[in-house]
Amino acid sequence: MQGGYELLKDPDAFSLESARRTTHRRLLYSVLLIVGLVACSSVYVFSSRVHIVLGDESYQTETLPVPNSSVPRPLDQCAASVPLPAKPPAPVNLWASLTLDETVSIHKWLTDPARGLDLVSADKANLSDNSIFHIEVYRPVKADALAYLESPSQETLPARYGRVSIHLGARPEAEGGPVIKDYVVGPLPVSDETTLKELTEIYHRDDIPYNARGFGANPFSELPYLLSSYMPRLAHVTQDLFGGVALGLENDTLIAGASGPFSFDGSFRRTWVSWRKNVAGPWLHPVNFFQYIDISGADPKQWKLLKLVYNHQIFENVDDFLEAYNNGTLRRLPERPDQRDDVEWSSRIRPSAPQRDLDHLPGPRQVSFAGLRFRVDRKLQYVSWMGWGMYLGFDRDMGMSLWDIRFLGDRLIYELSPQEAMAQYAGNDPMQTTTAWLDRFFGMGSAVRDMLPGYDCPYEAVYLPATTYTSLGMITRERAICVFEHDTARPITRHTGYHEGEFGAVRGYVLTVRSVSTVGNYDYIFDYMFMTDGTIEVRVSASGYLQGGFWEPKQTGYGTAIRDTTMGSLHDHVINFKVDLDVGGLENSLLFTHTEQEEVEQPWFDDDWGKTVIQQKITRDIIENENDAKVNYPVNFQGGYALINQDKKNKWDIARGYAVHPGYSPVHNTVVGSKRLLDNANWARYNLAVSRRKETEPTSSSMWNMNLPGKPMVDFHKFFDGENITQQDLVLWINVGTHHLPQAEDSPNTRTNTASSSFFLTPLNYFDSDVSMDSTNAILLSNPVKPGDPYTYNDYGVKPVNCVPTAVPPFEYRGLTAFGLDGKMAPPASAEEMRKGAEMYHRIKLEL
Ligand SMILES: [Cu+2]
């Protein structure tokens, strides 16, 4: 096949003359557009020049007459962006969330007096009552799941179970006092055979301390209760010092935030409260006023204010603080201009700046002109694309997870799921220096938000819903997950050559499965990206607001001033993933490959260059003991880690493997030994770790870990007990993260381009050669027969498709759909109600 093309656009074509010719332009618009599109088509019969005339208000196309061209026919409408049905390997998604009916039936069964749990409905429960905190699916044992996938039938289908967390606030002191218990309930559907069994085998301590509990129906039941006991008394002082008050009124101008963890080992529940301006982006408006409070136990009468801190002065109680204020001994912070009025800078409102050249036009967008190339089973939550296939799961703690990931017919990953997201801060104030968030506590799944079509994901993305339980009911988000294919605009392989068969390129495409969690101030974008060569990239990008501190010279070294009185505080993010990789089956080994410099001497070396040569050499070691498998990437990335199957060789007699390849910013935590982030997040100390897979070690963390740094429910280090890890079923625990040294450009929001971190899982002698070569989205060129003629080529019959894309629907965003515990749809929530549920104690308004 012959092709003709224009080497470069002729700059003269953009003549002023043509720019002035506006007559008839609108009448000709459609025809010209069509000609323009056809000119770019695969037919390549028109050697056309497209003149693009851009005005300030509109954009139109024009074309010069094309010699020898036939009259173009109007383009057809493209196929709608609806995915084709998928063909999952089994008709049941074993990891699917509980259905609404299943959740309602478990709730009903638990609250039946016959269970004897003495439960009080969460919306009415006091802390000293028993109430259900959470209900969700409990995933099957891997061996059972594999048996089902091997031969799917009703007989092999594993029984379904739920997992329930109950706050036992009413447990008498004689029995140990209030506590939390985790249970497995099932089999489902609920029947006479259904039982409730305490879930303890996955934890490293017996009890879940009540002081480590998560926020239930009313996350504000504790803090406002105490804060309202003293803040109104201080209103005239806070108005004077900070220009704001917290009186428990609708128009309060100060709001509170709290720092975590709340406890070391569960023996107390205490937090630092920090006050902020109640404006857009309050996290960037701390006023430098702090209180340490005790909210231990289940009896609010015991709670107390322990101390107040203002401008590095400590006061035992409100009276002392007031006295210092009244008698003039309080050392006030100097007045600063932006402490009072100028607060819009922290909003996302476009600043008044001139519009950039051509920025009135929408940017390019991705269109699958020939229709979507991925398949989706919405009901089963199964996605497939280009030889890849996977089921999706979803849970409260960490949101989306991927299961039974297969490539070209073989299972590659049993489970790929986020485990925990850590953010540890530094500073010279009580809030920043004590903060070490573990966001599993808040629920990265509960914090998943509906995505903005055309902004968070391309217009043609396909959205999948997710439902999470709250103690008041269930919440469904229709746009919790988006799936889309995109052109990387870069060939995955290419070469220019002159010998027959060596000149060509294969297009680079990626299928992305994405979800976004907004945890208080921060937004995490989770991307799982699949490529045609068998590579997967797992990437987390961060945006949203910094947790800002009050900037003053004593904060030097702990961040950067991003405004007169606001600083971005120094912190590390580390996010842990579980990768249950199965390379050629379950039996895998950990291979460490590294390169080192050597000096060698060979008899054939030339005399003129000397007797020795310095070069590098590969060493390959199998790490046999689990204790040696908590590792960091080698210095200068000279080598890396892979799981291989020593019993499965490729054609070249090399053990088939999959490597962990560091992506963007492959960091681990800087701080080791902090009491606020100790045994509860020891996974964050490494780039990766490899342990033997066990049903009793399903996750590297738990939602209660945040508040138990000294004695966590899941102590990751306990996974590593000296076992042999050669040819065993292994799990990789891989970290991504960023050392976040904030800067002015983090205001108003952190940018995803640099606040990103990733790792790749990529075939390592898994195949006999690069399998992306089998793509027919590729071209092979041949030298022209006659010098000067165009190159001939083979595009494997895959031609660009020319059609008119379906119209992008108008932007629409709707909130979540809520269901009561009876399973009935609940009335829509107000913005304030949604904010309360979403921001938890990151933004606490007093309510009297
Ligand atoms: Cu950050």
Which alpha helices (DSSP H) does 547-602 contain, by range? none
Torsion, Cα of 420, 426, 430, 436 (10° steps): 10
For residue 17, pLDDT over 90 is answered with no
What is the distance between the alpha carbons of residues 715 and 704, in angstroms, rounded to a whole number?
11
CA dihedral (515, 516, 519, 524) positive or negative: positive
CA-nearest of 386, 476, 411 to 778 is 386
Average pLDDT, rounded, for the chain: 89
How remote is the CA of residue 425 from the centroid of ligand 1, in Å?
A: 9
List b or e across 334-358, with b for residues whose CB sees 16 or more CB atoms inside 10 angstroms: eeeeebeeebebbeeeeeeeeeeee
CA 257 / ligand 1 centre spacing (Å): 17
Averaged pLDDT, 36-44: 35
Which one, of 460, 376, 383, lies nearest residue 83 by Cα?
376
Distance of alpha carbon 204 from alpha carbon 714, whole angstroms? 5
Closest Cα to residue 421, out of 444, 439, 441, 407? 439
Please report, rounded to a whole number, the percentage of residues in the chain having pLDDT higher than 70: 88
* Domains with residue ranges and CATH for the chain: 375-495+509-774 (2.70.98.20)
pTM: 0.90
Tokens of 721: 């007990």
295-319 pLDDT, tens per residue? 999 988 899 999 999 999 999 999 9
Quote the DSSP letter at residue 243.
S
Q: How far is the CA of 670 from the centre of ligand 1 (A)?
A: 14
State whether residue 175 is helix, strand or coil: helix
Span 132-161, mean pLDDT? 97
pLDDT in tens, 604-643: 888 789 889 999 999 999 999 999 999 999 999 999 999 9
Q: For the chain, state the CA radius of gyration.
A: 31
Q: How many CA atoms lie within 13 A of 159 on its CB side?
A: 13
Distance from residue 574's CA to the centre of ligand 1 (Å): 10
Tell me whether strands 130-138 and 50-54 are parallel, antiparallel or unpaired.
unpaired
Give residue 572 CA to ligand 1 midpoint distance, Å.
7
What type of residue is 830?
Answer: S
Whether residue 658 is predicted with pLDDT greater than 70 in this model: the reply is yes
Distance from Cα 433 to the centre of ligand 1, integer Å: 15
CA distances from 202 to 117, 199, 402 (A): 23, 7, 21
With cut-offs at 50, 70 and 90, classify the pLDDT of residue 552.
very high
Please tell me the distance between residue 283's alpha carbon and the centre of ligand 1 in angstroms: 12
Instruction: Please report, for residues 392, 419, 523, 674, 844, the alpha-carbon distance to residue 736 in angstroms, rounded to integers and kept in the order given.
Output: 21, 11, 15, 20, 30
Tell me how far the alpha carbon of residue 783 lies from the centroid of ligand 1, in angstroms.
53
| Total residue count of the chain as it appears in this document | 848
509/489 Cα distance (integer angstroms): 8
State whether residue 669 is helix, strand or coil: coil
Q: From ligand 1's centre to the CA of 559, what distance in Å?
A: 11
* Residue 566 CB neighbour total at 10 angstroms: 26
**Which residue type does 527 have?**
D
From the list 260, 262, 286, 261, the residue with the least C-alpha distance to 274 is 286
The rounded distance, in Å, linking the Cα atoms of 124 and 305 is: 26
Which element (helix H / strand E) includes 241?
Answer: helix 235-242
Cβ(764)–Cβ(658) below 8 Å: yes
Which residue has tokens 């040819």? Answer: 727
Gap from CA of 421 to ligand 1 centroid (Å): 11
Distance of CA 300 from the midpoint of ligand 1 (Å): 34
- The mean pLDDT value for 112-121 works out to 95
Cα(575) to ligand 1 centroid in Å equals 12
CA of 133 to the centre of ligand 1 (A): 30
Burial label, 152 (beta-carbon count in 10 A; 0-12, 13-18, 19+): middle
Q: What is the mean pLDDT of residues 353-366?
A: 96
673: left (phi over 0), alpha (psi -120 to 50) or beta: left
Phi, psi of 782 (to 5 degrees): -125, 145
Q: Give the pLDDT of residue 57.
A: 38
The Å distance, Cα 279 to ligand 1 centre, comes to: 21
Residues 492-520: tens digit of each pLDDT:
999 999 999 999 999 999 999 999 999 98
Residue 341 has pLDDT above 90, yes or no: no
Sequence-distant (≥ 6) Cβ neighbours of residue 288 within 8 angstroms: 310, 311, 333, 429, 550, 552
Note whether 224 and 300 are within 8 A (CB).
Answer: no
**Cα dist from 670 to 405, 561, 819, whole Å:** 33, 22, 43
Ligand 1 centre distance from Cα of residue 747 (Å): 12
Distance 571 CA to ligand 1 centre (A): 6
Per-residue confidence (pLDDT) for residue 816, from 0 to 100: 81
Percent of the chain that is helix, strand, coil (3-state, to 5): 15, 35, 50
249: pLDDT strictly greater than 90: no
Structure tokens at 588: 């895998």
pLDDT at 52: 34
Higher-confidence position of 33 and 491: 491
Q: How far is CA 226 from CA 276, 302, 309, in A?
A: 17, 10, 17
Which of 203-212, 222-231, 811-820, 828-837 tops mean pLDDT?
Answer: 203-212
pLDDT at residue 847 in the model:
54
Cα distances (Å, whole numbers) of residue 31 to 7, 44, 113: 25, 18, 74
Distance (Å) from CA 667 to ligand 1 centroid: 13
Q: Show Cβ contacts of residue 308 under 8 Å, excluding neighbours closer than 6 positions.
A: 289, 290, 291, 314, 315, 317, 318, 320, 321
Taking the centre of ligand 1 as the mean of its atom positions, its distance from the CA of residue 573, in whole angstroms, is 6
Neighbours of 401 (CB within 10 A): 24
pLDDT at 605: 84
C-alpha 750 to ligand 1 mean position (Å) = 7
Return the HEC string of 114-136: HHCCCECCCCCCCCCCEEEEEEE
Cα 426 to middle of ligand 1, angstroms: 12
Q: How far is the CA of 743 from the centre of ligand 1 (A)?
A: 11
Distance from Cα 714 to the centre of ligand 1, integer Å: 25
Reported for 147-153, long-range contacts at CB under 8 A and 24+ positions apart, including other chains, are: 148/90, 148/92, 148/94, 149/89, 149/90, 149/94, 149/404, 149/411, 152/89, 152/90, 152/91, 152/92
Amino acid at 127: L
CA of 593 to the centre of ligand 1 (A): 32
Q: Token digits for 159? A: 């029984």
CA of 741 to the centre of ligand 1 (A): 8
Among 66-75, 83-92, 593-602, the least confident range: 66-75
Residues near ion ligand 1 (Cβ under 5 Å): 740
- Specify whether the CB–CB gap between 641 and 592 falls below 8 A: yes
746: pLDDT strictly greater than 90: yes
What residues contact residue 83 under an 8 Å CB cut-off, 6+ apart? 372, 374, 375, 376, 462, 483
Buried b (16+ CB within 10 A) or exposed e, 10-40: eeeeeeeeeeeeeeeeeeeeeebbbbbbbbe
Question: Using one digit for the tens of pLDDT, what is the confidence trace for 679-720?
Answer: 999 999 999 999 999 999 999 999 999 999 999 999 999 999
Per-residue model confidence (pLDDT) at position 836: 64
Query: Alpha-carbon torsion 693, 696, 702, 706, what sign?
Result: negative
Ligand 1 center to 838 CA (angstroms): 19
DSSP element (H, E) containing 137: strand 130-138
pLDDT at residue 33 tops 60? no
Please give the distance of CA 614 from its chain centroid, rounded to a whole number.
Answer: 44
Instruction: Give residue for tokens 């904010």.
Output: 835
- Distance of CA 459 from the midpoint of ligand 1 (Å): 28
Residue 571 gets the label, from left (phi > 0), alpha (psi -120 to 50) or beta, of: beta
